[in-house]
């Protein structure tokens, strides 16, 4: 059974950004009557935008929700799919092992994510798909993968154009383009208007191991979606985080633990609480889609 929550960032124009959740659970997938309303799969979501190339899907994380998403992508006749990994803990990667997209080799897969201690998307996939842990070695399916590790997320941006495709830039390069009389991005042998692009900014979140929060800026509409998963409570809101979330039309963030559980046992685990989400949501319209496995609730407004 597929349970996905679709959030419409904008309906004011024909062009619109859509966010569909195929998994919202934290730590481990769950199954049973208590998970029917919000689903039991772990983190996976799809971003839809007219700024993306035709027949190309953009996905964040590959938790178990990546399995039903993969089946839908194949039915839709997708030609290419880009995965943006926030980090490589199992609840954000375990769906890759059983994904039809991974094993059928009919869709080109582009995988981006943090690079730390010699581990990026490529090394993660090689480790997870390795006998005897898994019967299919990554080398057997690697021919339709392109992997890119990002060492300093806050210094890089991803720019996507519907005709030009995807390019990874430094923040300096983006700012120089924005300052130009006619802002254009070079992609291949052509140049494309920045105003037609989806610009994806990155910031390291407050979580064990390098973890990326993604900010999606749809330049044609001015709409912004920020995804802040796996982010632990902080005494203050850092200036860079405030800037990263500022003006977001939709902010989705980690709200795994109740305040009582956090104070009693889970402080330091790298996850947030509803009261912290409420504080942070003053910088963007908030939703809290991440829930601890024992909890039946999963998708509550944080501000």
Q: Which of 257, 247, 195 is nearest to 220 (CA)?
A: 195
What average pLDDT does this structure show over 133-147? 96
| pLDDT of 24 | 82
Identify the pLDDT of residue 269: 74
* pLDDT beyond 80 at 107: yes
Helix (H) or strand (E) holding 259, with range, is helix 259-261
| Cβ 185 vs Cβ 157: under 8 Å | no
Which pLDDT value is given to residue 263?
66
Closest CA to 199 of 54, 79, 58: 58
pLDDT band, very low/low/confident/very high, at 51 (cuts 50, 70, 90): very high
Would you say residue 26 has pLDDT above 80? no
- b/e per residue 214-227 (b: at least 16 CB within 10 A): bbbbbbbbebbbbb
pLDDT value, residue 5: 45
| 159-202 confidence digits (pLDDT tens) | 999 999 999 999 999 999 999 999 999 999 999 999 999 999 99
Nearest to residue 148, comparing CAs of 116, 186, 175, 110? Answer: 110
Q: Mean pLDDT score of the chain, rounded to an integer?
A: 85
**Highest mean pLDDT: which range of 112-121, 231-240, 263-272, 291-300:** 112-121
Please say if the pLDDT value at position 137 is more than 90.
yes
Q: Greatest CA separation found in the chain? A: 58
Query: Model-level pTM?
Result: 0.86
Residue 113 has pLDDT above 50, yes or no: yes
Instruction: Give residue-wise pLDDT tens across range 206-256.
Output: 677 778 999 999 999 999 999 988 776 667 777 888 899 889 999 888 877
Go through the domains of the chain in sequence order and give each one's CATH number.
5-301 (3.60.15.10)
Q: Do 222 and 13 touch, CB atoms closer than 8 A? A: no
DSSP conformational letter for 244: H
For residue 82, give the nearest of 45, 134, 115 by alpha carbon. Answer: 45
Residues belonging to the chain: 303
Select the more confidently predicted residue: 209 or 15.
209
Looking up tokens 């030609």 gives 79
Residue 283, pLDDT score:
67
Cα angle 213, 217, 219; round to 5:
165
pLDDT band at 39 (very low <50, low <70, confident <90, very high): confident
pLDDT of residue 255: 79
- Return the closest-CA partner of residue 265 out of 290, 292, 288: 292
Rounded mean pLDDT, 9-34? 73
pLDDT at 45: 95
Residue, of 228 and 120, whose pLDDT is higher:
120
Whether pLDDT at 63 is above 70? yes
The two counts, helices (H) then strands (E), for the chain are 7, 17
CA distances from 169 to 81, 91, 154 (A): 19, 29, 11
């Amino acid at each position: 059974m597929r349970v996905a929550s679709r959030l419409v960032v904008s309906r004011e124009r024909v062009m619109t950004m859509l966010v569909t959740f195929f998994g919202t659970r934290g730590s481990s997938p769950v199954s049973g009557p208590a998970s029917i309303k919000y689903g039991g799969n772990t983190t996976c979501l799809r971003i839809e935008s007219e700024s993306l190339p035709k027949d190309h899907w953009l996905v964040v994380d590959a938790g178990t929700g990546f399995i039903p998403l993969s089946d839908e992508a194949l039915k839709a006749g997708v030609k290419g799919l880009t995965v943006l990994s926030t980090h490589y803990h199992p609840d954000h990667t375990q769906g890759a092992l059983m994904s039809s997209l991974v094993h059928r080799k009919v869709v080109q897969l582009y995988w981006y994510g943090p690079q730390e201690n010699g581990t990026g998307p490529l090394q993660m996939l090689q480790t997870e798909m390795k006998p005897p842990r898994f019967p299919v070695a990554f080398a057997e399916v690697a021919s339709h993968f392109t992997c890119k590790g990002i060492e300093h997320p806050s210094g890089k941006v991803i720019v996507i154009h519907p005709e030009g495709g995807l390019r990874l830039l430094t923040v300096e390069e983006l700012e120089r383009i924005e300052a130009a009389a006619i802002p254009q991005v070079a992609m291949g042998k052509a140049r494309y208007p920045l105003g037609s692009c989806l610009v994806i900014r990155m910031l390291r979140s407050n979580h064990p191991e390098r973890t990326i929060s993604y900010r999606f800026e749809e330049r044609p509409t001015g709409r912004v979606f920020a995804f802040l998963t796996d982010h632990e409570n902080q005494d203050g809101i850092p200036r860079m985080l405030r800037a990263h979330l500022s003006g977001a039309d939709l902010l989705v963030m980690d709200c795994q633990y109740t305040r009582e559980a956090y104070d009693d046992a889970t402080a330091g685990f790298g996850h947030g609480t509803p009261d912290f989400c409420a504080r942070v949501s003053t910088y963007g319209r908030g939703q809290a889609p991440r829930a601890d496995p024992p909890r039946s609730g999963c998708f509550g407004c944080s501000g």
